[in-house]
Amino acid sequence: MRSILPLLSDQEILCNRGCGINYCQRRKKIPFESVPADTWFLKEKLCDKIAIDISWSQLEPNEGEFLWEQPEWEGCFKSWMDAGFKILLKVRGMDTLGTFYNQGTPQWVFDAGARYVDEDIALYRNSWLLNNIPENERKPIRYPVYWDEIYLEKVNHLLQTMGQRYNGSPMIESVAIAHMGRWGEMHIADHYNHDTWIREGFSIANFNQAHRAIIDMYRAAFPNTPLQQSIGAPCFDIATIADAAPNLEYLAQNGIMIKIGGLGKAWLENASSPWLDREEHELFKRIKYQTKLMAENLVLPQALDFALDLGLSYWQRGGEANGLGELNIDKDIPIGEKKIYSFYKFYPEAYDRLSLEDQKNIWRHMAQHTGYRIAAEAVDTEVKDQNLVTVFFWNNRGAAPCYEKFEICVALFGKDGQKVWSASQKPSCGCSPKIWDSKSHFSDMQSWKLPLLPEGEYELYFGVRQNRFAGEMMMLANAGRTIDGMYPAGKINIKKNEQRTQ
C-alpha cells in the first residue's frame, strides 16, 4: 500500500454541528446588522452559533397569543440566521425577577388557578446573585409551583406550539429544557422561604415527577431537535443534586445534553477542584459517551481548561448582561464593569491580571478546542481488482468525543481537475463516541468499487458527511477544504493491470 500524508490545519477554527462555542444574547437583543462589521470576534469567525432566550411571559403574554416576531425573539434571531448562524433557543418559565417584571411565567397562568410562591425582592439585594436587582422596586419575585397540574398543562401547550414552529429546522442547533427551576437550571428558587415551598408541596418525589414530565413534554414537542438541560440542586439548603440523580441519568440515557450552569466556582467543602462541586464532576464522568457536556460561564482560564478536560462539547459565556455581552470583551474598561465575567467578585485579583489580549485569547482558545476536531493524519491506498482500498488514520484533536453519525466520502479527480468518481459509506469502525474520543488515534479500512478508469495519476479527496442536517459536510482539521467540503489527500496511480475484471 502507498501512504499519503494530508496536510493538517491545527489553528483553524472549525464550525461544526453538535459542538463549539456560541455567542449569547439576553434582553434588549441586538440584530446581526446592528453589530459593527469590524467587530474582532466576527472578523475572526470564532463561531457560527448564538444562544437566544426569552421569558415565557414575553413570548405568550396572553393565553394563545404568541409574539413570535418581536425584537426579543425572531425579530432578532432571524437576522442571525440570515447571516448563517444556528440558534440555540430557550424559553424560560422562570427568569431572574419573575412574573411582575415580565421575566417569568405569565400572570394568566396563575389567573387560571396555578399556584405560586412570592418572595420579597429585598432578600435578593446584596446577595450572591450577580444579576442587577432593582433598588427601588417593591413588587415580589413570583415563582411558579413547578409541580402544579395547571402550570404543567399550560407548559405542555406552549411546547407543542413551539414544536410545530421550530422542530426539525436545520437552523435550530438545540432547544433548552427551561421550565423547571430558575433560569431553567432546576433549582426551584433561592430558598430563603423553605417553609412556604414545603407548604406548597415541595418534596424530592414531587420535584422529580414534575421534572420528568417536563422532560417528556420537550421530547414529544422536539423529536427531531437536540435538547439540553442546565442542571442544579433542586433546593440548595435541603436537597442536593444527588436527589435529582434519577432524572439526570434519564437525560443522559435519552441523549439530552447536560449543561453546567455553575462552572467556575465550587461551593461545597468536598469539591474535587476549585471550579466545580464533586457531585457534578462525578456525574460528568459517569455519563461520558452517553450524551454531550455543555458549560456556561466566562471564568478564569484554569477553570475553562478544567472543563475542556471533562470533554466539553459546547461553551458560552454566562451572566445576564443585556444584549450581546460579547461586545464588552475588548472595551478598555475594568473587567468587573464588563458584566460578562462570572464569579468576578470571588477572584478579583486574578481577573484583573488579564490583559485585553488575554481576554480575547480565552475566546480563541475555547473556539479552537471545544468539541470534536477530526483530522486524517495519513491515508494508505491500494488499487487491486478494480477496488480502491483505503486505510484512514484518524485523530480527534478536540476536547470532546464526536457524538455525530456520519459517512466517509472519497473522490478521484483527473489531471484536468474534473471529478471522475465519488462514493461514500459508513466508517467500518462505526461512529461510537468511544472510538471517536478526544485525543484518540485509530485506523479505519474501507474498500471502494471503482469504475473502469484510464490509466494514469489521480488526485484523491476525502471528507465526512453528516447523516443529519441535510447532509452537511463536517469541517476537518485538515488543510485545503474545497467549496463542497472535501479535502485533498494526495496523488494515486492507477494501472490497467490493477483494474482487471473478474
**20 close to 62: Cβ distance less than 8 angstroms:** no
51-68: per-residue pLDDT in tens? 999 999 999 999 999 999
80-101: per-residue pLDDT in tens? 999 999 999 999 999 989 999 9
Residue 351: pLDDT above 50? yes
pLDDT value of residue 500: 53
Name the DSSP class of 140. P
114-148: per-residue pLDDT in tens? 999 999 888 887 766 556 777 888 899 999 999 99
For residue 219 the three cell numbers come to 421530547
Given pLDDT bands bounded at 50, 70 and 90, which one contains residue 502?
very low
pLDDT value of residue 368: 96
pLDDT value of residue 149: 98
| Measured CA angle at 316 (ends 177, 372), to 5 deg | 95
Kindly report the length of the chain: 502
pLDDT value of residue 99: 97
pLDDT value of residue 129: 59
Express as a percent the part of the chain with pLDDT over 90: 81
Express as a percent the part of the chain with pLDDT over 70: 97
Looking at this protein, which amino acid is placed at residue 100? F
Given pLDDT bands bounded at 50, 70 and 90, which one contains residue 501?
very low
Half-sphere exposure of 132 (CA within 13 A, CB side): 11
Give me the DSSP letters along 351-404. Answer: HHT--HHHHHHHHHHHHHHSS--EEEEEEEEEEETTEEEEEEEEEE-SSS----
Given pLDDT bands bounded at 50, 70 and 90, which one contains residue 321?
confident
184-225: per-residue pLDDT in tens? 999 998 766 788 999 999 999 999 999 999 999 999 999 999
The residue-averaged pLDDT of 353-361 equals: 96
pLDDT value of residue 163: 98
pLDDT value of residue 131: 60
Helix or strand or coil: residue 307? helix
Mean predicted lDDT score pLDDT of the chain: 93
| Measured CA angle at 410 (ends 407, 414), to 5 deg | 165
Half-sphere exposure of 21 (CA within 13 A, CB side): 25
402-460: per-residue pLDDT in tens? 999 999 999 999 999 999 999 999 999 999 999 999 999 999 999 999 999 999 999 99
Residue 339: pLDDT above 60? yes
105 vs 210, 294, 353, 401, CA distance in Å? 16, 26, 41, 37
3-21: per-residue pLDDT in tens? 999 999 988 999 999 999 9
Helix or strand or coil: residue 413? strand
Q: Which of 24-28, 261-265, 484-488 has the highest mean pLDDT?
A: 484-488
For residue 381 the three cell numbers come to 491506498
